[in-house]
Amino acid sequence: AQSVAQPEDQVNVAEGNPLTVKCTYSVSGNPYLFWYVQYPNRGLQFLLKYITGDNLVKGSYGFEAEFNKSQTSFHLKKPSALVSDSALYFCAVRGENTGFQKLVFGTGTRLLVSP
C-alpha cells in the first residue's frame, strides 16, 4: 500500500531564511511524487513533481524538491522564504502501477513565515 508521511504539523521560519518541509513515502515500484500548496478556503495549487530524471526538481514560486531514493524522501525547499509562502503544503505520491492514477496525500504541513 502507498503512504506518505509529513512528520511536521507546522514549520516556522523567518522571512529570508531557507525553508524545508519534509516528506517521506512508501510505494511499490517507482514513485510519482508531487507537492501542492493550499491557501485558506482554496483548492490545491500544483507546485512541482518528480516522475523520472534529475533528482532535484524545480517548481513554481522558487520552490524545489529533492528526490532521495535511498531515504525514500522528497523534501520541499526554498532558499529564501517569503511571508506570502505561508500556507498549507501537501506531499502526494502514487506508485507507477497504481490504477486510475490515484494519489495518496500526506496530512499536510502548515508553513508559517514571520516578517
- Counting contacts by CB under 8 A, is residue 36 touching other proteins? yes
Helices and strands counted in the chain (H then E): 0, 12
Q: Work out whether 89 is an interface residue with other proteins (CB under 8 A).
A: no
Residue 61 engages other proteins in binding (rule: CB under 8 A) = no
What is the rounded CA–CA span in Å between residue 51 and residue 8? 24
Binding of residue 1 to other proteins (CB under 8 A): no
Q: Which is nearer to other proteins, 52 or 115 (CB)?
A: 52
Among 51, 56, 83, 112, which residue sits at the site for other proteins (rule: CB under 8 A)? Answer: 51
85-102 b/e with 16+ CB inside 10 Å = b?
bbbbbbbbbbbeebeeee
Q: Which three cell numbers stand for residue 44?
A: 490545491
Interface with other proteins (CB under 8 A): 32, 34, 36, 41-46, 49, 51-52, 90, 100-103, 105-108
